[in-house]
Chains A and B, each alone.
Chain A
Amino acid sequence: MIPVASPQAAADATRGLLGRMIDGHRVDRVYVEQMIPIATELFLSFTFDGDGPCVMLCARGGVEIETIVATSPDSLVERSIDPRRGLESWHALDLWFEAGVRGRALRELASVTSRLYQVFRSGDAEMLEVNPLAIDADGRVLVVGAMVGLDANAFARHPEWPAVTAADANPRERRVAEIDASVPGGECRYVELDGDIGLLVGGGGAGLYQHDRLVAIGARPANHCVTPPTGTDSRKLKAVIEAILDNPRVRALLVGFNFAQMARADIRVRSLLEVLGEKRIDTARLPIVIRLFGAGEAEARAAVAGHPSVHYMTREASLDDAVRLTAALARSPTIGVGS
């Protein structure tokens, strides 16, 4: 925030900002608004707990909010909201009163709070925080600083939302995020880490479990990922496989899925073989452990037969068996794509 005293100063400051990089983001727009002499700073947030939406508010807001809440937790008023009724202005008024607000501002504060809940609700936000929510010298209520987190599950009904990728994503992560946004079907994600074992997993519980077990036996995954169930379109799955295999640190690959798969095993394995072929990766240098059962399993096993260093686990093998074998293979000194 840059305070300026004249339109000319605002123009100068804007010119200085445009094109600059701040925290990895290029500035291509600048928001100019009226300086407001704030009389009172308040805090308001809408979020979800395990049951549903809830509101938190405090008669003291601003940059010190965390300290205020930590030192006097009683000053924070928290309430769950019945999603069928919403937050009416008279509910909000009682909450602000409980938080200690008195006088003329209450009426408008209650109305703004109720309307902000509407924004939270109809905008499919999973979080909406206004800090500070300000009252100026004339008693007007103003939304000065606000932060919104959107619910990714609601993207389909908000064509107005822009696609966003993490500012610190590397090219491989960004590529997967782009495919995820542009190709229909289930979600795909790829997060790169500092280890050397590529992890091709579904992304649910089994992915978390195998990652934990690798770490527990001293191995380090090179990534975590989420892959969608295979349908007719395997572009998302292939994007994740490409990212994993493009990571120069990867020394071994674990393809680990739960025992009971709806998705076809052969589609997953063929996608893997296609990417290996396109990238001309010698599987003799990249051990691959596959624990993948269910429909299409016989075809999948046949497809990898003859590929050196591809270890297709038997149906008796547990997730831990696959994890242990992968970790052992990654320790072998003679392997590595880049070596």
Chain B
Amino acid sequence: MQGITGGQAQVDTERALRYGACIVAGVTPGRGGERVHEVPVFDSVAQAAAATRVDATVIYAPPLAVRDAALEAIDAAVPLLVVMAEGVPLHDVALIVRAARETGVLLVGCNTNGIISPGKSRIGGIGGVDPSEIYVPGRIGICSRSGGMAAELALTLKRSGLGVSTCVSMGGDRITGLRMADYARMFEADEGTEAIVVFGEPGTDNEQELAGAVSRREVTKPVVALVAGAFQERYPAGRSFGHAAALIQSAADTASAKRKALEAAGARVAEALEDIPRLLAVAGVAVPTAIQSRREGETDASPA
């Protein structure tokens, strides 16, 4: 845990430990020798890596400090980096993504909410206070551009009696380390995963790349995709409605174009969350419970 003495990092460390993650070391320059929830703190990643067996690091550095923190971890030969910060400058992201790729280091994020394998382990903030409320063990792999929507996907699955093998919040930035197609190939190779659910947004060519991987049969397990943001196409191009990454730059970047590309490749495209269990069933996944029809779930059902 790089930046383990920070507020959010301490909270996430405690929660991850409670969930079963094996956290061997924390790093905060100048705080070596301290302990956070019994985890020893080191001054540098190299020192932590020399003293313990590190196979992943979660980076809690603020946006402008991510570049150095990530390069330090790559220099220390940590094989998996998970970068939480949102708003890392583009030139810094490009630099660390390139450095990671050339050294064979896996980079999750930036702007990820973390990774969870329900019932096994979690890193990052994903799952919140009580992950079991959202994530139950199962055989569906989730990859989401949005951390929050990852939870909605998992919740939708849970309510149909399905569970999750691994859920990764891949980050919503314009440039990310691992891309949607990379995660899909990992799920393809994972024996514990039967089908893949992805959440996409306008901007970037992640979904087109995934469509390519599906049509080339690099990914043969069923893929169900929900791509949000089609409403943007009702407005002039170049208008940004959310995160900078969700800015449409070309016609291929729109939610509609992505849905079309995925559908043409053989993936199944959901219009709404509640379509996902049905589409998984159509793709051959055994969905335990019928989808409940819930029209009104609010406390006061009668509008005043």
Chain A interface (Cβ < 8 Å from any Cβ of B) = 48, 50-53, 82-84, 121, 124, 126, 151-154, 156-157, 186-187, 189, 191, 193, 202-209, 211-213, 215-216, 221, 224, 226, 257-262, 284, 287, 289, 294-295, 308-309, 311-314, 316-322, 324-325, 328-329, 332
Contacts and interface: CB of A to CB of B under 8 A. Distances in A.
21 contacts: A50-B174, A50-B179, A83-B95, A156-B64, A186-B86, A189-B242, A205-B172, A206-B152, A208-B201, A208-B202, A208-B241, A208-B242, A209-B226, A215-B234, A260-B127, A260-B148, A262-B125, A287-B304, A295-B129, A313-B299, A314-B298
B194 to A, nearest CB: 23
B99 interface: yes
A305 to B, nearest CB: 10
A259 B90 contact: no
B183 interface: no
Given A84-B95, A260-B151, A314-B298, A191 B241 contact: yes
Given A312-B298, A318-B273, 12 more contacts: A50-B204, A83-B98, A124-B89, A151-B89, A193-B235, A205-B228, A209-B152, A215-B230, A226-B242, A258-B148, A259-B152, A260-B151
Contacts, number: 195
A324 B298 contact: no
Given A157-B64, A262-B125, A320-B272, A82 B98 contact: yes
B30 interface: no
Interface stretch (B214-222, B260-268, B289-297): B289-297
Most buried by B among A124, A189, A259: A259
Contact of A262 (B128, B155, B294, B304): B128
B144 interface: yes
Given A121-B91, A126-B90, A156-B64, A258 B298 contact: no
Nearest to A224: B241
A257 B148 contact: yes
Interface string B85-98: 01111110011011
B71 to A, nearest CB: 10
Interface in B102-148: 125-129, 134, 144-148
Contact of B297 (A186, A189, A314, A328): A314
Contacts of A151: 89-91
A321 B201 contact: no
Given A83-B94, A314-B299, A153 B88 contact: yes
A324 B226 CA distance: 19
A322 B295 CA distance: 10
A121 B255 CA distance: 30
Contact of A320 (B90, B146, B246, B273): B273
B34 interface: no
B24 interface: no
Contacts of A258: 146-149, 151-152
Contacts of A213: 272
Contacts of A260: 126-128, 134, 148, 151
B212 interface: no
Nearest to A305: B299
Contact of A324 (B134, B147, B204, B295): B295
Size bracket, chain B contacts: 35 or more
B144 A205 contact: yes
Contacts of A284: 304
Contacts of B243: 203-204, 226
Interface of B: 8, 63-64, 86-91, 94-95, 97-99, 125-129, 134, 144-149, 151-152, 155-156, 172, 174-175, 179, 199, 201-202, 204-206, 209, 226, 228-232, 234-235, 239-244, 246, 255, 271-274, 294-300, 303-304
A287 to B, nearest CB: 7
B88 A212 contact: no
A224 B232 CA distance: 10
A153 B201 CA distance: 20
Q: Which 5 A-B pairs have the closest CB atoms?
A: A205-B146, A258-B148, A317-B297, A52-B94, A205-B149
A289 B301 CA distance: 11
A27 B34 CA distance: 58
Contacts of B155: 259, 318
A309 B87 contact: no
Contacts of A186: 86
Contacts of B91: 53, 83, 121, 124, 151, 154
Contacts of A208: 201-202, 228-229, 231-232, 241-242, 246, 255
B297 A48 contact: no
B102 to A, nearest CB: 9
B200 to A, nearest CB: 9
B294 A48 contact: no
B82 to A, nearest CB: 16
A108 to B, nearest CB: 26
A83 B295 CA distance: 52
Contact of A224 (B125, B129, B242): B242
Contacts of B296: 321, 324-325
A152 B88 CA distance: 10
Contacts of A121: 91
Contact of A294 (B64, B128, B234, B244): B128
Contact of A325 (B94, B144, B298): B298
A216 B271 contact: yes
Nearest to A82: B98
Given A121-B91, A204-B149, A215 B231 contact: yes
A51 B95 CA distance: 10
Given A208-B242, A224-B241, A84 B98 contact: yes
Contacts of A321: 294-298
Contacts of B172: 204-205
A318 B234 contact: no
A312 B303 CA distance: 12
